[in-house]
Amino acid sequence: MTKPLTGKIALVAGASRGAGRQIAVQLGAAGATVYATGRSSRAGRSELGRPETIEETAELVTAAGGEGIPVVVDHLVPDQVRDLVARIDAEQGRLDVLVNDIWGAESLVTWHKPVWEQPLDAGFRTLRLAIDTHIVTSHYALPLLIRRPGGLVVEIGDGTKEYNDANYRLSVFYDLAKVSVNRLAESWAHELAPYGCTSVALTPGWLRSELMLEHFGVTEENWRDALAREPHFAISESPAFVGRAVAALAADEDRARWNGRSVSSGELAQVYGFTDLDGSRPDAWRYIVEVQDPGKPADVTGYR
């Protein structure tokens, strides 16, 4: 099989689970060497207490055909990120792809309450995890990435810029976090363009992450059983779908056409032709705008 990313070096920051894990795996499937970072390790769990680990992610990357390298990193600690990038430089001498997927604030978000009813400590921790981590990582990693033209930065968020600009997202802290991720991608695009590098904001659709599957009491194999409880879950996608979107961007010699853009996995699937694990191409954000948000009955015909 063709492996277009053979010889390429990627850093997926926040690769323990969900989108980050499968982004790392799909980059590996395309032949890349992937540094998978996060706080959840076999040596100890993060504050979330989730069982998934970066070591498991690295093993999946290698099994897919790449080389997975797990590194325990708290991306809020500058010295740890500095040391991570120094290690990549020493071992590889280059960085071709940086994916900022750090989040880890699921348990902190309070939905649909005004700011005066929001716990400030949890809110500010959300912003630290969602925004500061991405800035710290970019601060240290981008000088290595810009050594060679063609580098790619992908900011993973929730919602396209178009959607987030038009819709309030759950709470002031969540809203600010997700708007900011898209804006960071625009900032990096401005700063990277003179070096021939590209920055893109990418959002998955309704993601069948480990946490979401647990929420509905289903697995990836029987996820459709959740439709009885939430019919619109029919538009959901596996984390591999957004992983394949990142791999397609990284393999595109003309990736600079996306510089500064905010796109979805469904949109990129239409351009690059990749599919989800079941062979479909779910276009979640178009569905959300045209079907779910207007309150129409769930019907994914024409959307996947």
Catalytic residues: 174
Tokens of 130: 């969602």
How far, in Å, CA of 146 to CA of 261, rounded? Answer: 19
**Residue count (the chain):** 304
Tokens 């020493």 belong to residue: 90
- Please answer whether residues 175 and 168 qualify as being in contact, where contact means their C-beta atoms are separated by less than 8 angstroms: yes
